[in-house]
Amino acid sequence: MFRSSISGAALGGGIWPISADSNARRATRSGLSNVKRGDRGSAAKGSFAITFRSLLARYLPWASGQNRLLTFRIAITAAVMAFITALAACLIFIQLATFHAAARAAAAAAMGAASANTLSRLEADVAELSSLVRVLSTNPSLADSNDRSEEDDAIVVFKAALHELPQADSLYVGYDNGCWLQVRRLDVLDSTERQKLKAPPGAVYNVNLVPPTAGGTLPMRRIFEDEQGNQIGQLDLPDYGYDARNRVWYRDTMQSDRALVSSPYASFSIGTPMITLSAPLHGRVHGVIAADLKLDKFSDLVYAQRPGEHGTAVIFDSFGVLIAHPDFARLAASAKSGPSDSRLPEIREIQSGLVGAVMRGWSGRDRYEGSIRDEDGRDYLFRLQKFSHGTEFIGYSLLLAAEDDFAPNVRKLQKRGIIIALIAGCCFVPAVWIFGSRMSNSLKRITAQASKLRMLAEPDDAPVTSRVAEIYELGRTIAVAQRSIWSFARFVPKDIVKGIIDSSISTKLGGVRQEVTILFTDVTNFTGIAESADPDSLMNQTSRHFAALTEAFHAEGGTVDKFIGDSVMVFWNAPHLQPDHVERACRGALSAKAASEALNTQFAAEGLPPFAVRVGIHFGDAVVGNVGSAERMNYTVLGNSVNLAARLEGLNKEYGTTILVSEAVRDRAENCFRFKSIASVIAKGMTTETRVYELVEAVA
């Protein structure tokens, strides 16, 4: 029906953002039933690891097409010459400049007044409805029950709210069981809109109710009431086809879990341009409360407030959808491909005239203004500026004012113009300083972005831009480097990425021997679970399992080396030394066990099989470093200590335990944890006997 607004939307150069409804997800499909636990020994082959240098080298080259940009030297020289030339022109043509400046000042003042009058009205309407929706989202009568009826108390609440806020078209609430209740005022609709609803004469309110049925169908009952709430008509629509859960206002609000303001759209029932303000319910049931703001009369209000007789006022949102335009009705009719099409006209569809010319020159900045001449030779001033309501709604207003409309008033300003021209001449020197400062600010922003590389911070939404070629190129390069390193850290442990960046970790093959603590996990009967599970469901469940364990290990400073089928390999004391690495591993194992048990409770509620985790821990000397080839390598640990940790995990199945540790671990951490002696064993592939213990709990 419509697109939902996003807080960071930006437009520019005729390129518009894709609808927020385009949230399609790609899922990797893989049959996990063939995963074998015995593949741990060859797990290094499956690890994703590439060097930072090769990643940067791939993205550093830039495409051509920057010929219109100026070099730094040319930009500075051209700027100084332009200021000198402008000063001479001001002295020669002072009277003419004063005349035009006065006309422009009057036109600019008129544009400012028009902008304030129109935008304040829209912002006030949006703010009032947004506040109402937020308040209603916590109302117990709406948020604690998803069972709505024709005699519901919510109807009384909605009527009272509509009476206090006449700019609202309707209020409605939808729930996750398919129930939907809407109350709309009919006395503010025109005859055509009332006819579409089949409203009888005298009807003041329209109550729409979609109750869920046992068969899954969603019939709708449309009730018409007079001012006193007496029913004067009813329509039963068994195949109306309105499922609130599939509407964008409901889906986007539930996904974002915050209040939203939509892009303009054509109403589902009456075809009128609307904006929807929605918020998730905060109670015992899941749902969304929303209000519709009609925009059909807003274009008339904006046109009445236009700057001057020949002026024009246009308002559109961050996606380019028109909110107000002098010829809105014609544009809306031409934008629809059919009666059921809810699409409204967009600003990019206006290619001709002054509006089209201004939009072609706009680069997406928050404020864009200047002058332009129409086909009749009349000079216009234009101002395109951004406005917003918090982070929920972002829009742009475009105002055009004809200089001739304000010429009769400029004679009084001619004397003042002479003084302004003299002051302007004195301002050229600081103007050059300001010009240089702006370039310096761009370089400072680039430096700030570069400092984020070492911290692996999330990249900024947009690179630093400039009309100077070198600054522009540098800003784009830093932005790509920042995004590349940030993406690289999603596949490789962050501590390793930081070590590669600061050269504390070598990118050459080889390693060093040092003491490390190694931990392996496994899922009980994973092969049996995988054989009977749907691959997509199993992939999702396994990822949730890995996420819970990874969070527990990261909390104790562990380095998650790799995922091996249903297993996780983690080590401590590398790449950074950790004096208490054994204790960290034990705490991480207990936290992982607790997290797994909590997650299994969720799995049981969802009808999924439990993922019972088993853990093995050992510490000792191992080789820490890079293994693989020059083209692809993995930072990992190798040695007999690693093999013993893996074997300890497997012994859990034989002894019915959850966390088995070696005697070395017990001896190092016995003051902090309680252990239970299990047996003395010779692990598979080993030649010496090892005493194993079960890690029971931490001690105070």
How many CB atoms are located within 10 Å of the residue 166 CB?
10
Q: Is the pLDDT of residue 597 over 90?
A: yes
What pLDDT does 665 receive?
95
Question: How big is the chain, counted in residues?
Answer: 700
Q: Is the pLDDT of residue 16 over 60?
A: no
Residue 27: half-sphere exposure toward Cβ, Cα within 13 Å: 10
Between CA 142 and CA 282 the distance in angstroms is 9
What is the arithmetic mean of pLDDT over 526-546? 91
Q: Is the pLDDT of residue 1 over 50?
A: no
Contacts of residues 441-444 at CB distance under 8 Å and 24 or more positions apart, as own/partner, are 442/466, 442/468, 442/471, 442/475, 443/471, 443/474
Range name among 375-389, 450-464, 536-550 with the lowest pLDDT average: 450-464
What tokens were used for 169?
A: 């078209």
Complete domains list, the chain, with CATH = 70-426 (3.30.450.20), 494-698 (3.30.70.1230)
Range name among 163-172, 265-274, 275-284, 521-530 with the lowest pLDDT average: 265-274
Please confirm whether the linkage preceding 280 is cis (ω < 30° from 0).
no
Q: Is the pLDDT of residue 515 over 90?
A: yes
Residues 428-446: tens digit of each pLDDT? 667 666 766 676 677 677 6
Give the position of tokens 């002058």.
Answer: 371
What tokens were used for 679?
A: 């047996």
Q: What is the DSSP letter of 183?
A: E
What is the arithmetic mean of pLDDT over 1-17? 34
Residues 299-356: tens digit of each pLDDT? 777 777 777 777 888 888 877 888 778 777 777 777 666 555 556 788 887 877 888 8
What tokens were used for 526?
A: 């994973």
Give the position of tokens 């050059």.
Answer: 432
User: For strand 613-628 and strand 659-662, is the pairing parallel, antiparallel, or unpaired?
Assistant: parallel
Instruction: Give the pTM.
Output: 0.42
Q: Is 135 within 8 Å of 157 (Cβ atoms)?
A: no
Among residues 295, 272, 284, 409, the alpha carbon closest in space to that of 342 is found at 272
Between CA 421 and CA 426 the distance in angstroms is 9
Q: Is 81 within 8 Å of 87 (Cβ atoms)?
A: no
**Is 367 in a helix, a strand, or coil?**
strand
* Higher-confidence position of 697 and 403: 697
Residues 104-132: tens digit of each pLDDT? 677 777 777 777 777 777 777 888 888 88
Confidence of residue 5 (pLDDT cuts 50, 70, 90): very low
**Which residues does 186 contact at the CB level (< 8 Å), separation at least 6?**
194, 197, 199, 203, 204, 205, 206, 224
Residue type, position 662, single letter? S
What pLDDT does 196 receive?
82
Confidence of residue 625 (pLDDT cuts 50, 70, 90): confident
Query: Exposed, middle or buried, 695 (CB in 10 Å: 0-12/13-18/19+)?
Result: buried
**Is 577 in a helix, a strand, or coil?**
coil
Please confirm whether the linkage preceding 166 is cis (ω < 30° from 0).
no
What pLDDT does 32 receive?
31
